[in-house]
Amino acid sequence: MKFSSAAIYASVILNLASAQPIILGKKDAKASADLWRDQSIYQIVTDRFARTDGSTSASCDVSKREYCGGSFQGIIDKLDYIQGMGFTAIWISPVVEQIPDKTEYGYGYHGYWMKNIYTINDNFGTADELKKLSEELHDRGMKLMVDIVTNHYGAAGDGPSIDYSIYTPFNEQKYFHDYCLITDYENQALVEECWETSTLPDLKTEDNEVLSVFESWVKDFVSNYTIDGLRVDSAKHMDTSFYQPFTEAAGVFLLGEVFDGDSAYTCPYQDYIAGVSNYPLYYPVLRFFQNSKSTSGELLEMIDNIKLKCNDVTLLGNFVENHDIIRLGSTIKDKALIKNAIAFTILGDGIPIIYYGQEQGLLGAEDPENREALWLAGYDTDSAYYKFISKLNQARNQAANKDNSYPSTVSSIIYSDDHTIATKKANLVAIFTNVGASASPSVTLSQSGFQKGDQVVDLLTCSSTTVGDSGLEVTMALGVPKVYASSSVASGIC
């Protein structure tokens, strides 16, 4: 059932796409942003997701930071697994050729150490296999987002000893900033002009020649592989004047990584990049759902704050796990709390991004532990989180299917106490709590928008209830979140 509703939703997206064909240019970049607002993204580290041989036993010692054998073909073979969870798009780690060396930090299996931006990293397969992945996604009505790095290259040596002649096309020192480390992250000039580490030669993104190479590169890159969106690594380290011409050349939606929890710092990047990773929300979300003793004040304040400071909260990329941060299971033992954090990610304002492996409850903490080989966990479609994520995506997809303003509607907080937050976003009412699995709080929602006597349905359990005199009475059994819709929105999935 979840499958057919994903298919219905996919056809809506397809129609949208054909009504607004993506041609390169400013107007179409906006159409592409509109397209991405509707997506739910599954983030993949290609090397760690699935192997071409389908092996579920091939070893992968994350601490060695080596290639473990994941591939484009591996992803193609697992698209049912991804789509079965209701995702409409994937974001894959960078695909271009990396420096081949073993460095102090291992190999470039993650893709952030570029050597040549015109060739595909053959550890993952061929250019044709990447094209095939793109085609297979599009045949399903799904979208492809590819991670790119325009801020730096990778190096085996460090600092002043780097041999620039090995790079394509930036094969001279003149394209890079002189070596200096970012010694003060409060100093934006240093953040943009110095190097993140001594092995990441930092490109002069303010240089016209560098920009113009990237403009023609991105145009070809997007067109060669029919890419629908780009995730831009290290976005806060680049010159902001880079983005407008680059976005126009790309002609697709950009989601920039601005790794900073301060909304006053991060939100203004939406002046340059349509989509921005929602680090400001991440930290309060983690703190709230990490501990049943935390209270909601900080999170509520940040929700308001982001609405004020960001241009468009519905284009922020929401996440609670990724390749740079700890997995929830490494710090939260109570599965009810993890479920609430995941539900908050998928049903909040913004584009949900779920990191591969969350659906199997992987436990890795910091990089490199959080980059596990998924095949070792199997691809269990009966796992509790797999089914839970499917239900959440199904609820979101169904909400948008019944009311296409859902993704662009900014939610309102209709109830809060120290441990519970309820939101109304278009046709869905969602309730989250951090009490944990040992409690079952009851609340009455008087501002749900539903009328007395209405039959409403919890989309996660398909149980219905009638709205009472004082509103929608909800008991969050065992601390698990709830998502309510009218019976007409629920029909077809419940």
Ligand X SMILES: *[C@@H]1O[C@H](CO)[C@@H](O)[C@H](O)[C@H]1NC(C)=O
Q: Which of 122, 104, 323, 123 is nearest to 200 (CA)?
A: 104
Nearer to ligand X (CB atom), residue 127 or residue 437: 127
Contacts of 319 (CB under 8 A, 6+ apart): 43, 277, 278, 282, 345, 352, 353, 354, 355
The binder of ligand X chosen from 109, 175, 221, 379 (CB under 6 A): 221
Answer yes or no whether residue 224 interacts with ligand X by CB under 6 A.
Answer: yes
CB of 220 to ligand X, least distance (A): 4
- Residue 257 assigned to a binding site: yes
Q: Name the packing angle between helices 279-290 and 335-347 (round to 10°).
A: 150
Considering only the stretches 203-211, 219-227, 260-268, 331-339, report the one whose residues sit in contact with ligand X under the rule CB under 6 A: 219-227
Q: Alpha helices of 291-383 — where are they, by DSSP H?
A: 297-309, 335-347
Nearer to ligand X (CB atom), residue 217 or residue 344: 217
Q: Which of 230, 254, 234 is nearest to 244 (CA)?
A: 254
Describe the chain by its helix, strand, coil percentages, rounded to 5. Answer: 40, 20, 40
| CA dist., res. 257 & res. 277, Å (int) | 5
Answer yes or no whether residue 167 interacts with ligand X by CB under 6 A.
Answer: no
Is 184 an active-site residue? no
Answer yes or no whether residue 118 interacts with ligand X by CB under 6 A.
Answer: yes
Rounded to a whole number of angstroms, the distance between the first and last alpha carbons of the chain is: 9
Binding mask 285-324 for ligand X (x = CB under 6 A): ----------------------------------------
CB of 146 to ligand X, least distance (A): 11
CB of 150 to ligand X, least distance (A): 12
| CA dist., res. 281 & res. 289, Å (int) | 12
Active-site entry in 129, 233, 321, 372: 233
- Residue 195 assigned to a binding site: no
Count of C-beta atoms within a 10 Å radius of residue 216: 10
The binder of ligand X chosen from 217, 253, 279, 406 (CB under 6 A): 217
Nearer to ligand X (CB atom), residue 242 or residue 406: 242
Is 403 an active-site residue? no
Beta bridge partners of 232: 148, 256
| CA dist., res. 115 & res. 200, Å (int) | 11
Nearer to ligand X (CB atom), residue 166 or residue 376: 166
Nearer to ligand X (CB atom), residue 29 or residue 222: 222
CB of 249 to ligand X, least distance (A): 12
CB 90 within 8 A of CB 356: no
| CA dist., res. 474 & res. 46, Å (int) | 41
Nearer to ligand X (CB atom), residue 205 or residue 314: 205
- Residue 157 assigned to a binding site: no
CB of 20 to ligand X, least distance (A): 24
Nearer to ligand X (CB atom), residue 29 or residue 130: 130
Answer yes or no whether residue 197 interacts with ligand X by CB under 6 A.
Answer: no
CB of 120 to ligand X, least distance (A): 8
CB of 11 to ligand X, least distance (A): 30
CB of 60 to ligand X, least distance (A): 28
- Residue 305 assigned to a binding site: no
- Residue 231 assigned to a binding site: yes
| CA dist., res. 107 & res. 66, Å (int) | 5
| CA dist., res. 19 & res. 404, Å (int) | 15
Residue-wise DSSP of 43-69: EE-HHHH-BTT--S-----GGG-----
What order of strands is seen across the sheet that includes strand 412-417? 412-417, 420-425, 428-433, 482-486, 455-458, 463-466
- Using CB under 6 A as the binding criterion, the count of chain residues that bind ligand X stands at 5
Q: DSSP letter at 25?
A: S
Nearer to ligand X (CB atom), residue 224 or residue 291: 224
Answer yes or no whether residue 220 interacts with ligand X by CB under 6 A.
Answer: yes
| CA dist., res. 309 & res. 258, Å (int) | 15
Q: DSSP letter at 360?
A: G
Active-site entry in 47, 193, 257, 359: 257
Considering only the stretches 83-91, 162-170, 216-224, 349-357, report the one whose residues sit in contact with ligand X under the rule CB under 6 A: 216-224
List, by residue number, the catalytic residues. Answer: 233, 257
Give binding residues for Ca(2+) as ranges. Answer: 151, 192, 202, 233, 237, 257
Known binding positions for substrate: 113, 152, 231, 261, 324, 371
What residues are designated binding site? 113, 151-152, 192, 202, 231, 233, 237, 257, 261, 324, 371
Residue ranges in contact with ligand X by CB under 6 A: 118, 217, 220-221, 224
